[in-house]
Amino acid sequence: MLYLVEAHASMERGNTIDAGEGPSPTFAKIVERFHPEAFYGNPGRRQIFLVVNLDTPVQIAELMYILTWFAGTEPTFTPVMRLEGFAEAIASAKRIVTPPV
């Protein structure tokens, strides 16, 4: 399943990361391990966004631990799906209940 994953560093952890090698080595390992479809950073904050396919709860937990330990805060996982999937979901839902008017 696809997830939008958001993580941001605490001030203290961000300063420690920046004083060292920066975030790039860890980001490279995340990309190598999880192959995100998209990976963006917020230029106004120490914040990243990934769109990543996580098939099992173990993969979710693994990425949660990586990002928590690295950033010093807990990430947010939001399930997302491609828009074409909504047509199928709506058709299936209508077989059970009629939408309100």
Q: What one-character-per-residue DSSP string does 10-57 give?
A: -HHHHHHHHHTT-SHHHHHHHHHHH--SEEEEETTTTEEEEEEE--SH
Specify the 3-state DSSP secondary structure of 2.
Answer: strand
pLDDT at 66: 98
Domain ranges of the chain: 2-94
Amino acid in the structure at residue 19: A
CATH architecture of the domain with residue range 2-94: 2-Layer Sandwich (3.30)
Kindly report, residue by residue over 9-33, the tens digit of the pLDDT: 999 999 999 999 999 999 999 999 9
pLDDT at 15: 96
Kindly report, residue by residue over 57-98, the tens digit of the pLDDT: 999 999 999 999 999 999 999 999 999 999 999 999 999 999
pTM here is: 0.88
Longest Cα–Cα distance of the chain, Å, equals 58
Q: How long a stretch of residues is the chain?
A: 101
